[in-house]
Chains A and B, each alone.
Chain A
């Protein structure tokens, strides 16, 4: 991805609190149905997988398909349990993985 995805999660939370996480990736999400000026099909290249994990355990995941619009925005909620680093990964059709990590302290 040319531009780094944006992730917003609270810096700190109370244990058991439900926190909202927002993510915004920057991607063309080429559907594979379009043609270029010469009439050749533009190959499909989308982000097909999103995952939010904590210490290797997946907390939230999404599988995306060609109808998802460009620059997918995904917001979801999790229950804060432990302090640590939360990892966010996006995987595209070529297998390229973009990873962003952010810390949240839970008291």
Chain B
């Protein structure tokens, strides 16, 4: 064995040790979701699942149908419709400008260079409305907004959620960190954080309800309790109210950060929106 071979052997061994160390690191820091990634679909009753599986029976769909008409309707001072830029909603090429709706919901929230903050689908729709259509914004929880987000979510059915916001070089990293802090921060009179239900006791009963993993892949979701579609921020507000904390506003920075963080936690889960839940 000459000197060169020894060096190579050491180098190879070294790489092996580093690899092993990496694997150990990965083992020591398990996925915050636990061993399995799952959405509320898993614990829904057979009847609720059947409603979601059949797009016709899905009671959120009439609102989506109305939004499909709005999508093609010319609006605002610019007299433009969504279809003028994006093409037909299910066009994989996204019209002449190449802006398809497919995969949008799976990718969002993204970084908005104008506000230097995350932007979600709802705010993006309003940005399009004011900037390009020169029309009035939709109210956050209005039927038109819920239908439109539902219509866009429908184009991403089955596409896995994606996020690289944990990467320090990602533009969303600051928001991701703030979202993570929010997730683990105790709040409200019950002094609970998101983690206490959705990480520590996921899949267990809280009275008669099964605690979910708190994933965002099914939104907007038709909740039978709400008897209409509802946004993710409405769900956040409900959760915050339940632990007797003061809810933040629709589209607030706190909730945008949390939405960014949840997209990362749920990365890999296929999109289900508009889903049906109890």
- Residues in chain A within 8 A of chain B (CB atoms): 2-6, 8, 22, 24-26, 28, 69-71, 73
Contact = CB atoms under 8 A, between A and B. Distances in A.
B65 A4 contact: yes
Nearest to B58: A24
B100 to A, nearest CB: 26
A22 B61 CA distance: 14
A69 B227 CA distance: 9
Contacts of B56: 6, 8, 22, 24
Nearest to B67: A3
Contacts of B65: 3-4, 6
Contact of A5 (B57, B62, B63, B224): B62
Contacts of B57: 22, 24, 73
Contacts of B62: 3-6, 24-26, 71
Interface in B208-224: 224
Contacts of A24: 56-57, 59, 61-62
B46 to A, nearest CB: 16
Contacts of A6: 56, 61-62, 65
B66 interface: yes
Interface of B: 56-57, 59, 61-63, 65-66, 143, 224, 227-228
B227 A28 contact: yes
A81 B188 CA distance: 63
Contact of A71 (B66, B143, B227): B227
Contacts of B224: 69
A3 B227 contact: no
Contacts of B59: 24, 26, 70-71, 73
A69 B61 CA distance: 16
A47 to B, nearest CB: 13
A69 B48 CA distance: 14
A22 B224 CA distance: 20
B174 to A, nearest CB: 39
B54 to A, nearest CB: 9
B227 A26 contact: no
Contacts of A8: 56
Contacts of B143: 2-3
B66 A4 contact: yes
A93 B224 CA distance: 23
Residue among A3, A5, A70 with max Cβ neighbours from chain B (10 Å): A3
Given A3-B62, A6-B56, A73-B57, 17 more contacts: A2-B66, A3-B63, A3-B65, A3-B143, A4-B62, A4-B65, A4-B66, A6-B61, A6-B62, A8-B56, A24-B59, A25-B62, A26-B62, A69-B227, A71-B62, A71-B227, A73-B59
Contacts of A25: 62
A9 B143 CA distance: 27
Residue among A8, A25, A26 with max Cβ neighbours from chain B (10 Å): A26
A2 B61 CA distance: 13
A24 B56 CA distance: 8
A56 B63 CA distance: 30
9 contacts: A2-B143, A3-B63, A3-B66, A3-B143, A24-B56, A24-B59, A70-B227, A73-B57, A73-B59
